[in-house]
């Protein structure tokens, strides 16, 4: 079941972020601060944390609008507990985000990720789900760590949904 995250989920969501092993301690602390701001209602109403629950949270996604744009959104975070990876839960979370944004009439969903080899599985996930590599900023995060930006037009998502209904 996919549902909005609640303050009671914070510990489980942070555990998922930690156990996937892709983030430094500093990044995890920043993520925890973002969650706290969200639950304290300091991020505004257009920021969304959702979770995939199977008796407890096993997946999480966070998405928000890109400031100063019309209809452009960022998927800032998506993760599934390693014990549950490979079951399609990440794809379900991603598809849910796309559907919610498409229903609102939003245009584009962007995803930024690392170019490090440890993120290859992450990049493959986005490609598999119809995202195109839109840009690469070499050595953005640090020497040898590129920023890769993936893009998906949400209009295409809406058109695909209509085709599937036919």
* Distance, CA of 166 to CA of 162 (rounded, Å): 7
pLDDT by residue, tens only, the chain of 166 residues? 999 988 888 899 999 999 988 888 998 999 888 888 888 876 666 788 888 888 889 999 999 999 999 999 999 989 999 999 999 999 999 999 999 999 999 999 999 999 999 999 999 999 999 999 999 999 999 999 999 999 999 986 656 666 677 6
* Distance, CA of 6 to CA of 29 (rounded, Å): 19
Q: Could you list the residue range(s) of the whole structural domain that residue 39 is in?
A: 2-165
Query: What pLDDT does 37 receive?
Result: 86
* φ/ψ (deg, to 5) at 106: -75, 160
| Number of separate domains in the chain | 1
Query: What pLDDT does 56 receive?
Result: 87
Query: What pLDDT does 50 receive?
Result: 83
Query: What pLDDT does 64 receive?
Result: 92
* Distance, CA of 54 to CA of 2 (rounded, Å): 9
Query: What pLDDT does 160 receive?
Result: 62
* 22 CB neighbour count, 10 Å cutoff: 16
Instruction: Specify the residue for token string 């400031």.
Output: 67
The CATH number linked to 84 is 3.40.630.30
Cα-Cα-Cα-Cα torsion 82, 13, 96, 65, nearest 10 degrees, comes to -130
Beta-strand runs (E) in the chain:
2-4, 48-53, 57-65, 72-80, 108-114, 132-142, 145-153
């Amino acid at each position: 079941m996919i549902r909005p995250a609640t303050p009671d989920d914070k510990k489980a969501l942070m555990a998922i972020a930690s156990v996937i092993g892709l983030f430094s301690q500093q990044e995890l602390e920043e993520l925890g601060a973002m969650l706290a701001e969200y639950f304290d209602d300091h991020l505004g109403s257009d920021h969304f944390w959702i979770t995939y629950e199977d008796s407890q949270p096993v997946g999480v996604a966070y998405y928000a609008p890109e400031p100063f744009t019309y209809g452009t959104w960022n998927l800032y975070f998506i993760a599934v507990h390693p014990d549950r990876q490979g079951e399609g839960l990440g794809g379900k979370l991603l598809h849910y985000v796309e559907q919610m944004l498409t229903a609102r009439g939003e245009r584009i969903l962007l995803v930024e990720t690392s170019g490090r080899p440890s993120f290859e599985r992450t990049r493959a996930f986005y490609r598999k789900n119809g995202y195109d590599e839109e840009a690469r900023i070499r050595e953005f995060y640090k020497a040898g760590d590129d920023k890769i930006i993936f893009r998906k037009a949400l209009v295409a998502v809406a058109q695909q949904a209509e085709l599937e209904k036919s």
